[in-house]
Protein backbone atom coordinates (compact mmCIF):
# COMPACT_ATOMS: atom_id res chain seq x y z
CA UNK A 1 0.00 0.00 0.00
CA UNK A 2 2.82 2.36 0.77
CA UNK A 3 4.90 4.44 -1.61
CA UNK A 4 7.47 6.32 0.41
CA UNK A 5 9.36 9.35 -0.88
CA UNK A 6 12.60 9.53 1.13
CA UNK A 7 12.82 13.30 0.58
CA UNK A 8 9.29 14.02 1.79
CA UNK A 9 8.80 15.37 5.32
CA UNK A 10 5.29 13.92 5.66
CA UNK A 11 6.47 10.48 4.45
CA UNK A 12 9.09 10.72 7.21
CA UNK A 13 6.35 11.54 9.74
CA UNK A 14 4.28 8.57 8.48
CA UNK A 15 7.36 6.34 8.86
CA UNK A 16 8.06 7.65 12.37
CA UNK A 17 11.41 9.12 11.28
CA UNK A 18 10.26 12.60 12.34
CA UNK A 19 8.12 12.97 15.47
CA UNK A 20 4.58 14.27 15.34
CA UNK A 21 1.71 14.71 17.78
CA UNK A 22 -0.67 12.09 16.50
CA UNK A 23 -4.42 12.73 16.31
CA UNK A 24 -5.51 9.58 14.48
CA UNK A 25 -4.03 6.66 12.57
CA UNK A 26 -5.30 3.74 10.57
CA UNK A 27 -3.85 1.59 7.81
CA UNK A 28 -4.09 4.29 5.15
CA UNK A 29 -4.45 7.64 6.92
CA UNK A 30 -2.53 9.62 9.55
CA UNK A 31 -3.64 12.82 11.27
CA UNK A 32 -1.28 14.95 13.37
CA UNK A 33 -1.14 18.43 14.85
CA UNK A 34 0.28 21.19 12.67
CA UNK A 35 3.62 22.37 14.04
CA UNK A 36 2.67 26.04 13.48
CA UNK A 37 -1.04 26.21 14.31
CA UNK A 38 -3.16 29.09 13.02
CA UNK A 39 -6.08 28.28 15.28
CA UNK A 40 -6.75 26.70 18.69
CA UNK A 41 -7.38 23.42 16.83
CA UNK A 42 -5.18 22.82 13.78
CA UNK A 43 -4.32 19.38 12.53
CA UNK A 44 -3.47 17.79 9.19
CA UNK A 45 -4.85 14.63 7.60
CA UNK A 46 -2.60 12.82 5.14
CA UNK A 47 -2.81 9.62 3.15
CA UNK A 48 0.08 7.40 4.28
CA UNK A 49 0.89 6.70 0.65
CA UNK A 50 2.86 9.52 -0.99
CA UNK A 51 0.47 11.45 -3.22
CA UNK A 52 2.04 14.79 -4.06
CA UNK A 53 -1.11 16.88 -4.06
CA UNK A 54 -4.83 17.04 -4.79
CA UNK A 55 -3.82 17.55 -8.45
CA UNK A 56 -2.76 13.87 -8.62
CA UNK A 57 -6.00 12.50 -7.16
CA UNK A 58 -8.22 10.49 -9.50
CA UNK A 59 -11.06 7.96 -9.51
CA UNK A 60 -8.87 5.21 -8.01
CA UNK A 61 -8.50 7.37 -4.88
CA UNK A 62 -12.23 7.86 -4.31
CA UNK A 63 -12.47 5.43 -1.40
CA UNK A 64 -9.34 6.76 0.31
CA UNK A 65 -10.35 10.39 -0.09
CA UNK A 66 -13.90 9.64 0.95
CA UNK A 67 -12.66 8.03 4.13
CA UNK A 68 -10.23 10.88 4.78
CA UNK A 69 -12.93 13.53 4.39
CA UNK A 70 -15.56 11.69 6.39
CA UNK A 71 -13.18 11.33 9.35
CA UNK A 72 -13.06 15.11 9.71
CA UNK A 73 -16.26 15.79 11.68
CA UNK A 74 -15.40 13.17 14.29
CA UNK A 75 -11.76 14.20 14.67
CA UNK A 76 -12.64 17.91 14.72
CA UNK A 77 -15.06 17.33 17.59
CA UNK A 78 -12.59 15.12 19.46
CA UNK A 79 -9.91 17.81 19.14
CA UNK A 80 -12.12 20.52 20.58
CA UNK A 81 -13.89 22.20 17.68
CA UNK A 82 -17.22 23.49 18.94
CA UNK A 83 -20.46 22.15 17.49
CA UNK A 84 -21.97 23.48 14.26
CA UNK A 85 -23.35 26.05 13.60
CA UNK A 86 -21.92 28.36 16.31
CA UNK A 87 -18.62 26.48 16.23
CA UNK A 88 -17.53 24.54 13.17
CA UNK A 89 -14.17 24.29 11.44
CA UNK A 90 -12.31 25.25 8.27
CA UNK A 91 -10.89 22.72 5.80
CA UNK A 92 -8.03 23.82 3.52
CA UNK A 93 -6.19 21.80 0.89
CA UNK A 94 -3.50 23.97 -0.68
CA UNK A 95 -2.57 22.53 -4.08
CA UNK A 96 0.53 23.48 -6.04
CA UNK A 97 2.71 26.53 -5.65
CA UNK A 98 0.03 28.93 -6.86
CA UNK A 99 -2.37 27.21 -4.48
CA UNK A 100 -0.05 27.97 -1.57
CA UNK A 101 1.20 24.40 -1.07
CA UNK A 102 4.57 24.20 0.70
CA UNK A 103 4.75 20.51 1.61
CA UNK A 104 4.21 18.39 -1.49
CA UNK A 105 2.48 15.42 0.14
CA UNK A 106 -1.30 15.73 -0.01
CA UNK A 107 -2.71 17.06 3.25
CA UNK A 108 -5.97 18.55 4.42
CA UNK A 109 -5.79 21.22 7.13
CA UNK A 110 -8.57 21.22 9.72
CA UNK A 111 -8.77 24.41 11.79
CA UNK A 112 -11.24 25.42 14.43
CA UNK A 113 -11.85 26.66 17.93
CA UNK A 114 -12.76 30.06 19.34
CA UNK A 115 -11.74 33.20 17.45
CA UNK A 116 -9.56 35.17 17.01
CA UNK A 117 -7.13 32.92 15.14
CA UNK A 118 -3.58 33.98 14.37
CA UNK A 119 -4.35 33.63 10.62
CA UNK A 120 -7.28 32.88 8.37
P1 LIG B 1 0.91 23.85 3.14
O2 LIG B 1 1.24 25.29 2.92
O3 LIG B 1 -0.55 23.55 2.97
O4 LIG B 1 1.79 22.92 2.33
O5 LIG B 1 1.16 23.61 4.67
C6 LIG B 1 2.10 22.76 5.20
C7 LIG B 1 1.84 22.74 6.69
O8 LIG B 1 2.66 21.75 7.27
C9 LIG B 1 2.15 24.06 7.42
O10 LIG B 1 0.98 24.51 8.10
C11 LIG B 1 3.26 23.66 8.39
O12 LIG B 1 3.17 24.33 9.64
C13 LIG B 1 3.05 22.16 8.53
N14 LIG B 1 4.25 21.42 8.90
C15 LIG B 1 5.47 21.48 8.34
N16 LIG B 1 6.32 20.64 8.94
C17 LIG B 1 5.61 20.02 9.92
C18 LIG B 1 5.93 19.03 10.90
N19 LIG B 1 7.16 18.51 11.01
N20 LIG B 1 4.95 18.63 11.74
C21 LIG B 1 3.72 19.15 11.66
N22 LIG B 1 3.35 20.08 10.75
C23 LIG B 1 4.29 20.51 9.89
ZN1 LIG C 1 5.27 12.02 1.10
Q: Does residue 101 fall inside a structural domain?
A: yes
Q: Does residue 118 fall inside a structural domain?
A: no
Which pairing describes strands 108-112 and 29-33: parallel, antiparallel, or unpaired? unpaired
Q: pLDDT (tens digit, 9 = 90+) per residue, 21-78?
A: 999 999 999 999 999 999 999 999 999 999 999 999 999 999 999 999 999 999 999 9
Q: Does residue 17 fall inside a structural domain?
A: yes
Q: Does residue 58 fall inside a structural domain?
A: yes
Q: Ligand 1, from 9, 22, 35: best to mutate by most atoms within 8 Å of Cβ?
A: 35
Q: Does residue 13 fall inside a structural domain?
A: yes
Atom of ligand 1 nearest to the CA of 42: 10
Domain containing residue 67: CATH number? 3.30.428.10
Q: pLDDT (tens digit, 9 = 90+) per residue, 78-114?
A: 999 999 999 999 999 999 999 999 999 999 999 999 9
Is residue 2's pLDDT more than 80? no
Q: Residue 65's domain spans which residues? A: 9-112
Q: Does residue 3 fall inside a structural domain?
A: no
Give the pLDDT of residue 3. Answer: 87
Which residues are CB-contacts of 42 (< 8 A; sequence separation ≥ 6)? 33, 34, 109, 110, 111
Q: Does residue 32 fall inside a structural domain?
A: yes
Q: Does 9 sit in the ligand 1 pocket, CB within 6 Å? A: yes
Is residue 13's pLDDT more than 70? yes
Give the pLDDT of residue 120. Answer: 83
Give the pLDDT of residue 1. Answer: 46
Per-residue HEC secondary structure of 67-116 comes to HHHHHHHHHHHHCCCCCCCCCCEEEECCCCCCCCCCCCCCCEEEEECCCC
Specify the number of domains making up the chain: 1
Please tell me whether the overall predicted TM-score, pTM, comes out greater than 0.75 for this model: yes
Q: Which of 50, 12, 52 is nearest to 32 (CA)?
A: 12
73/109 Cα distance (integer angstroms): 13
Amino acid sequence: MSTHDPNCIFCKIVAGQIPSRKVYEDEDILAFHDIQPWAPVHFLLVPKRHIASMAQVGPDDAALMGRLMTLIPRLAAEQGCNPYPEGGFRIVCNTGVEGGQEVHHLHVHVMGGPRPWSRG
